[in-house]
Structure 1
Amino acid sequence: MLNQSGQANRQSSAAQKANAEYLTFRLGAEEYGIDILRVQEIRSYEEPTRIANAPSFIKGVVNLRGVIVPVVDLRLKLGCATAEYNGFTVVIVLNVHGRVVGAVVDSVSDVIELGGEQIRPAPEMNTTVDTTFITGIASVAERMLILMDIEALMSSADMGLIDASQQLQ
Structure 2
Amino acid sequence: MQQHDDPKTEKQIEYVTLVAGAQNFCIEITQIREIRRWSPATLLPHSPPYVLGVINLRGAVIPILDLAAKLGFSAIVPTERHVIIITAIEERIIGLLVESVSEILGVSADMVRETPKTEEDAATRAVEGIIPAGDDMIKIISLDALLPATLDTAA
Shorter-chain TM-score tier: 0.7 to 0.9
Matched, 1:39 2:47: no
Tell me which of 52, 66, 69 is aligned to 2:45: 52
Structure 2 unmatched runs, 5+: none
Structural mapping, 1:76-95, within 5 Å: 76-95=69-88
The alpha-carbon deviation at position 127 of structure 1 amounts to 5.5
Amino acid paired to 1:160: D
TM-score, length-scaled by structure 1: 0.78
Tell me which of 18, 42, 56 is aligned to 1:25: 18
Residue 5 (structure 1) aligns with: none
Structure 1 unmatched runs, 5+: 1-10, 162-169
The answer to whether the 8 A contact 2:84-2:98 is kept is yes
Give the number of the structure whose alpha-carbon radius of gyration is greater. 1
Identity %: 27
What RMSD, in angstroms, separates the aligned Cα atoms of the two structures?
A: 2.1
Instruction: Write the distance in 2 (CA, Å) between the matches of 1:127 and 1:47.
Output: 33
TM-score, length-scaled by structure 2: 0.84
Aligned residues: 146
More helix by percentage:
1
Residue 89 (structure 2) aligns with: 96
Does the residue aligned with 1:117 lie in a helix, a strand or coil? Answer: helix
Instruction: Write the distance in 1 (CA, Å) between the matches of 2:99 and 2:149.
Output: 22
Matched, 1:126 2:108: no
